[in-house]
Structure 1
Amino acid sequence: MANSEMPQARSSAKRRRLSAAAAQVLHQRGVERTTIADIARAADVPVGNVYYYFKTKDDLVHAALAEQAQSLAELTDALEKQDDPIDRLHGLIDAWVGQRDVAARYGCPTGSLATEIDKRDEGDLDAEAGRVMRLLLDWCETQFARARVPDAAGHALTLVSAYQGMSVMANALRDPEVMTREGARLKRWLDALRP
């Protein structure tokens, strides 16, 4: 690696660390309760350095949403290795249930953030959260269509809505087993849709 590339690589790694920390801290504390210092601490970066990469807290929220979109892309790319689209949706549910303790404590990362930022009157963050949610809906719709399930868009909306609902209930009740029970119910529903 050339010497001129090394600082750029370090800069990119630091920005990615800050984005990942923003996603984690904003999910755990919410936008209003999170400070830039909280994110800097979680990323192990001096507070003053944060402003080199992100000028405002809203910039960090954008970065957190981009991080969530990237995590979703990595998950769905891994699930695409399965041959059967219904099995891919089963894998998605397994991933959701695998995060049941986190969901019981903090809710769904994207859903919680979307709900919170929608209450604000400024910026386009709510639209950005909607775009991340749309990525999930579109992927699910594609799986239902590949499985030749009629009304693929409607079934995708039902599945994603069920996930949001079980995340909210697990969080409200502080009961991760809500995710386990509802995940099993969703998998039975999917199996009933197999051609």
Structure 2
Amino acid sequence: MTDLEKGAGAGTKPGKRQRLVAAATQVLHEQGVEKTTLADIARVAEVPVGNIYYYFKTKDDLVAAAIEAHAQGLRVVTAALDQHGGTPQDRLKALVRGWVEQRELAARYGCPFGTLASELDKRTDGLDREAARVMRLLIDWAERQFRAMNRPDSYDLAISLVAAYQGMSLLTNTLRDPELMTSQGRRLEQWIDSLV
């Protein structure tokens, strides 16, 4: 976790805020925003429910922190892929393999962020735009990889990649079939190779 997620400000107890954000991220994925209560999050975080208000005034503040945790996690993953070296194709295929590695989780609950973004899209309170900002981070990173492959259609290819991932996550979850993610991941890797 990052310092931002730890919330290491004056007067805070190290770890509680981090545990609350991690628990919110997990429970929101498993139950959705509407079904999740602060008590659910407190229980998973092992924090008394009354203590939540010390860190977050509302449930929406906690949802916003979970969105930021997703953004930070994505930044960490893409930075690691960038440092991995290799070709842009190698980095894109490593991203796909990372998605496939989470196939059991996707089969049970769907994409960890896509499901949250889809649910928040039905709202107009700003959380919908924050979720879109995180999705944009992934699209922008993928676009840079395709641009490094000298593809003039890099933006369209990035949209296709992210759309394919969201679609295979949705189908994997709906059909409860983790092997669907495996086979579609292989197809995505072949597609990436075909673009060179």
TM-score of Structure 1 vs Structure 2, range by shorter chain:
over 0.9
Identity rate, percent: 58
Q: Which of 112, 134, 137 pairs up with 2:136?
A: 134
Moved over 4 A (4+): 6-10
Mark the runs of 5 or more structure 1 residues left unpaired by the alignment.
1-5
- Over 3 Å counting, the alpha-carbon distance change for 1:7 and 1:123 in structure 2 is closer
Residue 41 of structure 2 is aligned to residue 65 of structure 1: no
- What residue in structure 2 maps to residue 108 of structure 1? 111
- What residue in structure 1 maps to residue 3 of structure 2? none
- What residue in structure 2 maps to residue 164 of structure 1? 166
Tell me the distance in 1 between the aligned counterparts of 2:31 and 2:45: 15
Tell me the distance in 2 between the aligned counterparts of 1:143 and 1:7: 36
The 5-angstrom pairing of residues 1-195 of structure 1 reads 8=10, 11-81=13-83, 82-120=85-123, 122-194=124-196
Mark the runs of 5 or more structure 2 residues left unpaired by the alignment.
1-7
Give the counterpart letter for 1:159 in structure 2. Answer: L
Give the counterpart letter for 1:136 in structure 2. Answer: L
TM-score (norm 1): 0.92
Give the counterpart letter for 1:93 in structure 2. Answer: V
- Structure 1 residue 44: Cα displacement: 0.9
Tell me the distance in 2 between the aligned counterparts of 1:7 and 1:63: 15
SS of residue matched to 1:150: coil
Between the two proteins, the alignment pairs up a number of residues equal to 188
Over residues 125-167 of structure 1, what are the superposed CA-to-partner deviations in whole Å (9 max), with x where a residue is unaligned? 1101000000000000001001112210000000000000000
Give the counterpart letter for 1:174 in structure 2. Answer: R
- Over 3 Å counting, the alpha-carbon distance change for 1:7 and 1:128 in structure 2 is closer
Tell me the distance in 2 between the aligned counterparts of 1:145 and 1:116: 31
Tell me the distance in 1 between the aligned counterparts of 2:42 and 2:105: 22
- Structure 1 residue 123: Cα displacement: 1.2
